[in-house]
Amino acid sequence: MSDRLEDIALAMVADGKGLLAADESTSTIKKRFDTIGLDSTETSRRDYREMLFRADEAMKKYISGVILFEETLYQKAADGTPFVDLIKAAGSIPGIKVDLGAKPMAGFPGETITEGLDGLRERLADYYKAGARFAKWRGVIAIADGLPTWGSIKANSQALARYAALCQEAGIVPIVEPEVLMDGAPGTHDIAKCAEVTEWVLRTVFTDLYDARVKLEGMILKPNMVIDGKNARKASVAQVAEATVKVLKATVPSAVPGIAFLSGGQTTEEATAHLSAMNSAYDMPWKLTYSYGRALQDTALKAWGGRSENVAAGQRAFTHRARMNSLAATGTWQQDLEKAA
């Protein structure tokens, strides 16, 4: 694998492949494990992720890279193999979530700012040594009455740009993730409002990336899809695809090699259907693929249920989801393929 940022970025959005977001923080993975009645311990977290990383067909054919949480980057499989080596052996690229989470923004009720810039240069050097070749930072933008504010958009956008510049300096491809929430409160906005806010956010982000001298060829964008709020869902698959492509074409320079969507509260099948609709109906200057967490893992987590005898079932569920999303990344997914499984 070349160490050029541009080559790594292109490999991350290779045809029919996408990113597995396995970077749940310790508190988030606990919530996921609670749904299957499993205690979150270092061992249970290791066993769960090892199940995913050893799903050979999924990892080799459909996953280009894995976003890891710091604990996971340094973890070893039960037999002592470092997870980073397992991921690389499958032909996939290890990555790392580097932000320290969205915290309430002083003076901006209902809005957050993502922390983690202090000491980031030194952390990135350590992560590079540990094998990470890309990173992720998420800025969170809420839609509500009078929100978002310009102050919140600008602060999150500048943090994303500073993070991206530090990554590139360290030889690490930044995933730039400005997420306009669909499932934030009250979640009653329509798709037009989401389009307006997403366009505003992305215009701001690319201005700040330019000002921070970030090389667009050596980054990946991870945006939300343009979709109505979770408590006002009306838009059809075709409407979501059309609105999303329109906003991206208006804001994302063609120098960016790829866009890997977050699933952001959509059901697993919705996330797949929307991605496939964009790829089948539109010509675009960048690759459009997936960087899903829940929408790749949910069925696998339930099938596994924390039991060693269910590892194969969990891997089958994960492989099916990965294959469906791989088809979506090439615009060839069909609803009836879900039934066949």
User: Which one is catalytic: 17, 136, 222, 287?
Assistant: 222
Catalytic residue among 24, 50, 111, 177: 177
Q: Which one, of 46, 48, 26, 22, lies nearest residue 36 by Cα?
A: 48
Single out the residue of 53, 16, 6, 18 nearest to residue 222, CA to CA. Answer: 18
Question: Closest Cα to residue 256, out of 264, 246, 248, 267?
Answer: 248
CA gap 105, 203 in Å, rounded:
22
Reading the block at residue 236, the tokens are 């059809």
CA 325 to CA 78: how far, in whole Å?
29
- Please give the full DSSP string across 133-166, using - where no structure is assigned: -EEEEEEEE--BTTBS-HHHHHHHHHHHHHHHHH
Examine the residue annotation and report whether 177 is marked as an active-site residue of this protein.
Answer: yes
Q: Are 306 and 222 a contacting pair, CB within 8 Å?
A: no
As annotated, the active-site residues are 177, 222
